[in-house]
Amino acid sequence: MSLSIDAVHLLDTLIQTYLSNQQPDKALALLRAQQVYGPLSVRRRLVLAQSQIRCGLASQALETLDQVLAQSPQAQLLLACYLLRATALQEVGLEAQAVQAMQDYVQLRSTSRVDQKEQQ
């Protein structure tokens, strides 16, 4: 059984609304409910990690982000992953690893900009 496209869009809208209104616990509940119907996309896993961090579940967010990294996402999603990873690592007190994640973000971001300029 899977969700219809309309149901998925509605859930995505509700999740973003909850996150925007400082209610990450409700966004997290909806994301977990979506997992019942199948694996989350890379984008939704990033939103799941964001919700987990905002709910004080940084160690769970790190597990979610490890799953994202294992899927080798495209550069834009990888940038978001590195930022969320830096935040989660800082939350669990792993400062050196948080700095490394931020350095990975900066390096990838500068590389992505160079690639975009070359394509123009």
- Structural Rg of the chain based on CA atoms: 15
pTM of the model: 0.87
Choose among 76, 64, 6, 56: nearest CA to 32: 64
What pLDDT, on a 0 to 100 scale, did the predictor assign at position 4?
A: 83
Q: Which residues of 38-74 are buried (b: 16+ CB within 10 A; e: fewer)?
A: eebebebbbbbbbbbbbbebbebbbebbeebeeeebe
The CA distance from 60 to 107, in Å, is 26
The matching CATH number, chosen from 3.30.70.20, 1.25.40.10, 3.40.50.150, 3.30.460.10, for 5-119 is: 1.25.40.10
Residue 56 gets the label, from left (phi > 0), alpha (psi -120 to 50) or beta, of left
39-50: pLDDT as tens digits = 889 999 999 999
Q: What would the pLDDT profile of 54-109 be if each residue is shown by its tens digit?
A: 999 999 999 999 999 998 888 889 999 999 999 999 999 999 999 999 999 999 98
Question: Which sequence spans correspond to the domains of the chain?
Answer: 5-119
